[in-house]
Amino acid sequence: MSKFFTASIGRKLIMSLTGLFLVMFIAVHMTVNLFLIFDDSGELFNRAAHFMATNPAVKIMEPILGLGFLIHILWSFLLEYENWRARPVKYDKKNPEVASSWTSRNMLVLGALILVFLVVHIIQFFWVIKFNPESMKSVVIQGVQMEDTYLLVSDLFKRSVVYDIFYVIGGILLGFHLSHGFWSGFHTLGLSNKNWMSRLQIISRVYAIIIAVGFSVIPLYFLIKF
Ligand code: HEM
């Protein structure tokens, strides 16, 4: 077994482990975000955001999450570069068995677009909450003073159609990325035999649709209702 092969498998393993870790984060993140549309007073979302901001376990997870994103992104470029160098003729389009789906061939492009979304998104919310909380209004809920994160998010979605569309596109891109990434991650880990392969692909698609719809519905709710 050549050194390159071992290294390449190792890198793919890192991609799948970090990817599956991000899959879990995204499910939690979407669930918490959906509180935005289930309570127009903002109390539910603010309490959840306050819990996430102050809970010690979540605080420990935050840098791990950042590292997970960073490694996943850097490794994807490295892996793509290696694939490109090792395989000058990329895909055998004449042979349908070897040919792959559009999503799987465009994981890097999809990932790069999600990265653009993520940078804007982090600046809009995370950065303000962490490093400029003075610019936010505060609320008192059940005797506890906290930042009005609901106002920060809902205000953006209420006043900007451009950002509403931007967030819908972000959710859809993420859905496409996950529809391949989810099952591919399990496949790389060797957790899919012939029977499970097709099941995982179905679960992957269902998960991707839930995520794309779940994220997109939030800006659309504020756009349509307010
Ligand atoms: C409707 C869509 C979304 C809304 C309303 C939303 C809302 C938020 C808010 C309020 C924060 C700051 C949380 C805090 O620091 O207390 C945040 C952080 C973050 N979001 Fe989103 N988000 C959305 C979509 C996404 C998507 C699609 C991704 C993944 C590609 C994502 C990834 C992140 C990351 C990595 C952070 C920083 C870590 C964290 O604070 O948990 N978000 N988001």
Give the C-alpha distances (Å, rounded to integers) separating 7 from 23, 38, 82, 144, 214.
24, 47, 10, 51, 37
Residues 121 and 170: their CA atoms lie apart, in Å, by 10
Which atom of ligand 1 lies closest to the CA of 149?
A: 10
Domain that holds residue 109: 3-225
| Selected residue with higher pLDDT from 89 and 174 | 174
CA of 184 to the centre of ligand 1 (A): 24
Residues 69 and 26: their CA atoms lie apart, in Å, by 11
Widest pairwise Cα distance in the chain: 67
Which atom of ligand 1 lies closest to the CA of 171?
A: 27
What is residue 109's predicted lDDT score, i.e. its pLDDT?
95
Number of domains in the chain: 1
- pLDDT tens-digit readout, 165-177: 999 999 999 999 9
**Please, what sign has the CA dihedral across residues 68, 70, 73, 76?**
negative
- pLDDT tens-digit readout, 33-80: 999 999 999 999 999 999 999 999 999 999 999 999 999 999 998 888
CA of 115 to the centre of ligand 1 (A): 13
Per-residue pLDDT at 92 exceeds 70:
no
Ligand 1 atom 15 nearest Cα = 126
To test ligand 1's pocket by mutation, which of 34, 121, 178, 182 has the most ligand atoms within 8 angstroms of CB? 121
Ligand 1 in contact with 174 (CB < 6 A)? yes
Which atom of ligand 1 lies closest to the CA of 130?
A: 15
Beta bridge partners of 145: 140
Write down the pTM of the prediction: 0.91
Which atom of ligand 1 lies closest to the CA of 52?
A: 16
Per-residue pLDDT at 148 exceeds 60:
yes
**pLDDT bucket at 1, cuts 50 / 70 / 90:** very low
CATH, residue 87: 1.20.1300.10
